[in-house]
Amino acid sequence: MPPKTSVLNMDIRTTRLENGVVVATESLPTVRSASLGVYLDIGSRDEAAATNGLAHLFEHMVFKGTPKHGSLEIVKCFEATGGQINAYTSKEQTCFYAKVVDTEVNAGLSMLLEMVLESTFDPVELEKEKDVIIEEIKGGNDNPEDYIYDLFSQAFFDKHSLGYPIAGDEKTVKGLTRQHLLDHQRKAARNLPVFVTAVGRVSHDEVVAITRKAFGLAGKGGKAAGKLPNDFAAVRAGAFVRKTTPRPGAKLRPRHMVEKRPVQQVTALLGGPGYAWAHDNRYALLLLNTILGDGMSSKLFQSVREALGLVYTIYSSPDFMINAGVYAIGFATEPKDIGKAVKEISKQLTLLKKEGLKKDEMDFAKANLRGSILLGLESTNTRMANLSRQLMYGEKGESIEKILHRLDQVSSADVKRAIKDTFRAERWSSAAILPKKANLSMGRLLDF
C-alpha cells in the first residue's frame, strides 16, 4: 500500500513584510540542500513596445556586478561549494534562483537579493551584454523550433503585449539604456510584487531576516501572509501600488501567419484560447491535455506519428496566465504531408468533441498527473517553483492532498466543458515556417 501523501507535506510558512514583499519557505529537514528564488512579478507582457526586452536585459545584467562583488565573485559564491545559479524571464515573471548546500543558504540568498537590488549596470558591460542578447535573438530566430513560438504569439495576440517576444528585438534592445535598468531595479525594490522563496533545509525566520536586511527594513516586522489575492497589488499601501502596464485579457481575432525560409520541413504551431490560471476548470484541461498530446501514449502521438508516420514529434500544451490562457498543438512535417497532419489533428479533436474521455482515459490521466506531482516532490527546485507559482497567481501554499483532491474531483462533465471551451476552430490561430516553394492556408485546413 503506497504511503500517505501527507508525509510529503512539510512546514510551509509565509510572511508578508510591511513593504509588501512576500517571503515563503518550505522546511525539509531531512535534505542537505536548499533551492532559493527571488521572483519579480513582471515580464514581457508588462512592457511598452519601445522597451520590449527590458526585463530580459535586466535578468542578464544583474550577473555583471554590484558595488560589493564582481561578476566572477557572484558566480563563485554559488559554484565554490557545488551550487548552481541561474535565471529566466517569461511573459509574466522574472526569476533568479539557486541551489546550494544547507550551510550556504544565508550567503546564497543574500547574494541573490544583492544582485537584484544593488547591481550597478556598468555601461561597458551593458553594451557587451546587449550584443550578446542580440546574438541570442538571432540564434533563436534562425531556429524554427524556437522562433515558431514568437511567430505564434504574434498571430494569437496581435498587438497586445502578450505577443511581444520575451527578449525583444534587435531595435528595442539597442535602444535600452542604463537608466531603463535603474528604473526597473527601483520598481523591483519599491513597487512590484516580489516573492522570496526557499525550500529545503531552511529556517523561515532567517530567510525573513535576510530579506528584511536586503530591503533596508528595520526590526522584525511582518505578518503571516495567509491567502494572497489574485490582485496582490490591491492590498499594498499607496506607495507600493504596481505601476506597470495593466494586464487585460487579449482581444482574440484568429490570424494565420506564414513565414518562408530556406528550410526542408514545415514547422507549425496552432491553438486557441485556453483557461487562465484562476479558472475553476483548469484541472480538467490538464487532464484532457495528458490524453491528447502529452507524451508518447497520447492520442496525437499515437495517431499522427505512430499510425501515420507524418511527424517525428507532436505535442500539445496549455499555458495558464493571468487573465489569459492558450492551448496549442505543435509539430513539424514534410510540406507534402501538412494537409494530412492537420486533417488527422482535426479528426482527433472532433472525436473528443463527440465522445469526451472514456473512464479508462480519465483514470489514466489522473494517475499520470498524480505520479508526476509526487515525483516532482523529490526535487527542491520543483517544490520551490510550485510554491512560488501558487503565491504569484494568488493561492496560498496548497497541500499536496488538496492539489491531488482537486484532480480526483474532475468529472467527465468537467472535461467535456473544457473540450467545448477550447476546441473551437473558428477561434484558433496558427503560425508556420515553410520552405520557400511551399504554400499553406492553415485557416482552411482547420476543421473540428
Cα separations (Å) of 236 from 225, 245, 283?
12, 17, 30
Other CB atoms within 10 Å distance of the CB of residue 160 = 17
Rounded distance between C-alpha atoms, residue 18 and residue 325, angstroms: 32
Cβ-proximal residues to 153 (8 Å cutoff; 6+ apart), any chain: 162, 163, 164, 165
What are 233-242's contacts with CB under 8 Å, separation 24+?
233/193, 235/20, 236/20, 237/20, 239/190, 240/19, 240/20, 240/190, 240/191, 241/191, 242/191, 242/192, 242/193
Rounded distance between C-alpha atoms, residue 83 and residue 104, angstroms: 9
Rounded distance between C-alpha atoms, residue 196 and residue 210, angstroms: 10
Widest Cα–Cα separation across the chain: 69
Rounded distance between C-alpha atoms, residue 314 and residue 388, angstroms: 30
Burial of 152 per CB tally in 10 Å (0-12, 13-18, 19+): buried
Q: Judging by DSSP bridges, how do beta strands 266-273 and 429-435 pair with one another? A: antiparallel
Cβ-proximal residues to 198 (8 Å cutoff; 6+ apart), any chain: 24, 25, 26, 34, 35, 36, 37, 105, 109, 207, 384
Catalytic residue among 47, 59, 114, 344: 59
What end-to-end distance do the CA atoms of the chain give, in Å?
43
Active site residue 59: yes
Sequence letter at residue 111: M
Other CB atoms within 10 Å distance of the CB of residue 315 = 17
Cell of 261: 525560409
> What's phi and psi for 7, nearest 5 deg?
-70, -15
Catalytic residues: 59
